[in-house]
Structure 1
């Protein structure tokens, strides 16, 4: 006895234009009286394509997405107010849920890929839009900002131009840091100096070399440069109880703010000290004038 036959169902297409009736179709055959029926065929799903258009959009609409950014991929269905359910196809490692928007709080390489979507009527699950065009999303490594300055020292009353850039440059806003704290870029001003004439010093004399910054009450630290064998300490005054040939040389100084170690005066003009044999007491000063303070 032969096994009960089974009907076979075929379709020339699985989607039909709007106006047709979508659904899950099957069939069976029957003959005789009473009727003898075959087994049902396999089921074939037919979807009705509605004219509404699905579009995948990316927000923010950057040309390139970077690791850690917050983005969202949305499925927008144009030309109708029907309530929809959403289907997604993607080549990325992570698949969106069936919502109209896929929110990504921190983008990673796993989100790279092509995304497309379509909408399906809530009241008619066999009516859907066409698949949207694919939207390619590429998540790149986090970029690094580049900072440049047109100069590294600022003259009195002058300014320095700092330029911050990221490549590619579109869409960036910039935060500024000073001493690792959020700040606005600041202009720093250095002092203009005046050095009086210096007379000859004689061996054995008691002298002092002073760095004076006039025009302000700011507390300063002091830096010295000299060609002599003995270097002054970082004080405003270098006292020499008995001058010798070791103290001969050129001296210059500058001041640096105690509260702002990155703001300093210019170096003073060099002051030449020559220690000769004749003994003669004299006091020498380097005077500096700060225009800002």
Structure 2
């Protein structure tokens, strides 16, 4: 039992009457000698109680002992279920009141010393052990809450619990989105960090949004190597328990592809026989900004001064290495993407061989072409001078030189040929008529003359030359493609002469 409660003991003998009683507490005789005694308990009343019954001063009966425990009424424990005691308007607050000993306690709640009744804004749990309400700053910014406990059907009332003080703000805080570095335009490979900040109270959890889609819960969001897909509008929001603040301001970033550096060969084709050096130039593609350049040979920086051009000589690079370059500047973007490797090994030798072969092929094709034109033009002349090629009949000149051996038939045929003029080239057979007979005359072309055979041989020779040079031309095209494809380590790169 608890201090302040009353307890009654009764000593009674069920037979006969006229009994006298004597009370004891821990071997101490109590003054009271009635059949029943009532004690308003205090801590000092804790002990073992028993009694004796006597009649005529003769002890006849002794009762059993009853141990009476007396405890101090405990103080209820008041705990906020919210971890934070600074709250904002309409934020839900929940408090609990508990007794560590026994059960069956009921609880009452007080705000600034006034009893709290349940209503539409205040919810009191079973036996009053909890209370929930939404904070309201209209009354006081500082509010003290306490609770008391009592046992059902007993006059046991505890003292007030220790107080819990709530600080209620007039308005909810703002959520700030912070970006570092503060650039709206980023380039691939850049790093950027976002932080969501609430400068009042603590215990916040954060929600992140990109273009309205939630994607993470933390107080910060880091992008270590930005990509184009990271372009978007970023916002954040803070919450604790069921209380959620408004979203932060929008933060828009745009991520563009970082400019690409490219190595260009300045040494032209016409210079390959007159120089042993290669002049390379670094250029940032699709950029009108002013750049400085860093050169790398096999991934190791070369050149003391950042310059646009770099000269490769047998002295500074006897191994003919791979070269790359990268643009650098003080403004953003501060650097470009490193160029693809440019291979210089045997580059001059390849070009010299390619130019030599192509020159030979070119002049060979020209000669073959001119030969074709020559024989094409000469063929009709041979046909027109057919009478001079005739070995079967004498020409006019020979006839005059051999007048003593002249023949009327020959004169007739020759005169007829001269009078009639040249015949068609396609006339292969001529007829010589007399009064009684017809004489068939054939040309030496039909008889396989040496000139005809020579002409046929020439045409066959020209045809073979044409076929040979055609095949060589095809091989030349393939050689150009292979040489160009392997000139820079397999990359199909077109080199341009730049002034």
TM-score with structure 2 setting the length: 0.28
| Greater radius of gyration (CA) | 2
Instruction: Name the TM-score, length of structure 1 as normaliser.
Output: 0.46
Q: Which has the higher strand share?
A: 1
